Amino acid sequence: MVEPEGVAGVPVAQRAGRLAFAGGIVVTAVLFAVGGWNRRWIADDGLTVLRTVRNLLAGNGPVFNVGERVEVNTSAAWTYLIWFFGWLTHARLEYVVLGIALALSVSAIVFAMLGAARLWGVGGRLLCPVGALVYIALPPARDYATSGLESSLVICWLAVLWWWLIRWSRTERVGLAGFFGVAFWAGLAPLIRPELTLVGASALLILLCAPLPGNRLRPWLVRGIAVLVSGLLPVAYQIWRMGYYGLPYPNTAVAKDASAAKWRQGFGYLWNFVEPYRLWMPLLALGVAAVLTVWSRRNDGSARISGGAKPALRERVRRFRLRSRSPAAVVVLMLGSGAMLIGYEIRVGGDFMHGRMLLPQLFCLLLPVMVLPLSAPGTRRLVLRALVAGTVGWALLAADATAITSGSRISAAGIADERLYYIQTTGRAHPIRAEDYLGYPRLRPMLRAVADSPNGGLLINSPSFTAWHLVPPPQPAGHTVFYVNLGMISMNTPLDVRVLDPMGLAYPLAAHTFRFPEARIGHDKNLDADWALVDAGMVDRHPRMPWFLGEDWVTRIRTAIRCPETQELLASARAPLTAERFRRNVFRSWDYARYRIDRVPELELERCRLG
């Protein structure tokens, strides 16, 4: 029987399938955009990113505090992306980052679905966006569709890499431009987030192992150019980072000791994300549905494994290279990347933001099933459609689920629903602008204290978080604020106000302290304000020293901070950036990254042998 043809000779069923798929993309993208917009916000950590962008736009360089070279933002690409659009539009940075984040989040879903459609083939089959529905149904996915953090950039990079690799594996003839384009995109991984290097390196390995595009260049030359194209930008930035900041990776990795292991907290973070939504249910259902679909295709003869005698080594190598450029290899890459990133996140202890650091991993696992064909022979079709229907039902229930009910209180596990926390503490349904955070406790009193002290000084909050204490400088100087919430403080104060945190995200001295083993993840360093007092130059006995600071400690810290290695570390970020300083930073950056001080002055004196 001849299938009726539609426009331009395209069969009606195939044309209908394409129209249905296009409609599914539009509906899913709109749902995600609306869901992300309804939960729009910018986190305190998102405002922290914008402080560096403000300094860039002001000509102070990519720093958080003027005169101190510290890379506070984990994603270099995210920082410069916001800077570019901020420079281009001259719009308010909070609105710039809100628009960029939402656009990237929606684009990620679109590219993910396009890649999955290429994997399964559109044809005349009905493709259901079931995997995409699973992702956008999760409240954390909609929370971090905005937030001002790099989450949207991460999933968009993954989605484009997925789409590009599937397209590369499906196209019979690939030009050099497309081949080098994929290599360049894979090479951006460490600039998006350092741990994505695992994904980018694996993708590049597949490209180099696969048969090369037909051209007149020698294979070794093509592979060499691909390595150069992929590595030129990240390697150049890495050398610049080591020389400028004096570290081989962002200061956030030092502050959070990303190389250390916290397995118990990591498993707790994973369970905190999976259990409230019963996330294993849709993942299991989609896994079975994908297996049924592949099984049906194999039985239909679309994929068969040839038998016969065991081939020679050269033939096995040839087959391996051919399989490297196949949709199956790309699927294995993404599933394996998701598993590796989950293992990494568990090892480092997870995060304090509910779900945030596991969203890219989930996205990787869902990429092959972002859309699924609903066609299968016989009973398998009923099973397949039942699994898809059950997953859609789960998505409807999960969309309104509340995982954390502690509200403005931090749970015993130290994991919080950050968006809900800041909504309740600021009194704003959508805290986006810096002034939206003025309702946060202690922020307005801090601003009044700055305004009431024209001679400057060090502002410290009491241990009970109830009052601000100003330590005047020996002579008029600028203001320094020492507090944990970097974003809301730094975006509500001028750039000449130095903002430091006891956890060390923006403060090298605190970043290089030893962590507390069982403290809240992401907050497991806490440098005492006595150190900030000495470091800020308040070294003499002072009649207005806050009651909770110890004169004995301050005296010993004055000696401990003079440790030559500590002074060398601080010079890497504070000394004028001469050619010699740059060279010294490059060659000593790994030593600086490993260096740690003890927050207890007696122990630090002993460690440095200054006692």
CA distance 574 to 62: 14
Looking at residue 309, what is its pLDDT? 56
Tokens of 70: 């510290």
Helices (H), 466-521: 486-490, 508-511
What lies within 8 Å, CB to CB, of 121 at 6+ separation is 373
Helices 93-120 and 76-89, interaxial angle, to 10°?
120
CA distance 467 to 445: 8
- Choose among 259, 201, 260: nearest CA to 230: 201
Tokens of 499: 């903002």
Secondary structure in 3-state letters for 529-595: HHHHHHHCCCCCCCCCCCCCCCHHHHHHHHHHCCCHHHHHHHHHHHCCCCHHHHHHHHHHHHHHHHC
Looking at residue 540, what is its pLDDT? 59
Looking at residue 541, what is its pLDDT? 53
**CB-based contact 53:63 (threshold 8 Å):** no
What pTM does this model have? Answer: 0.93
Tell me phi and psi for residue 259, to 5 degrees.
Answer: -85, -10
Secondary structure in 3-state letters for 251-314: HHHHHCCCCCCCHHHHHHHHHHHHCCCCCHHHHHHHHHHHHHHHHHHHHCCCCCCCCCCCCCHH
Tokens of 202: 């694996």
Tokens of 413: 């596990």
What lies within 8 Å, CB to CB, of 428 at 6+ separation is 422, 436, 439
CA distance 553 to 509: 16
| Residue found under tokens 């809900």 | 420
Helices 93-120 and 130-137, interaxial angle, to 10°?
150
CA distance 395 to 225: 45
Q: Which residues of the chain fall below pLDDT 50?
A: 1-7, 301-308
- Choose among 408, 411, 534: nearest CA to 419: 408
Looking at residue 317, what is its pLDDT? 65
SS3 content of the chain, % helix, strand, coil (to 5): 60, 5, 35
Looking at residue 313, what is its pLDDT? 67
What lies within 8 Å, CB to CB, of 215 at 6+ separation is 176, 222
What lies within 8 Å, CB to CB, of 460 at 6+ separation is 468, 469, 471, 482, 483, 529, 532, 533, 546, 549
Strand-pair category, 127-128 with 457-461: unpaired
| Residue found under tokens 């956890």 | 503
Secondary structure in 3-state letters for 74-87: CCHHHHHHHHHHHH
- Choose among 117, 321, 242: nearest CA to 591: 242
- Choose among 187, 200, 195, 114: nearest CA to 150: 195
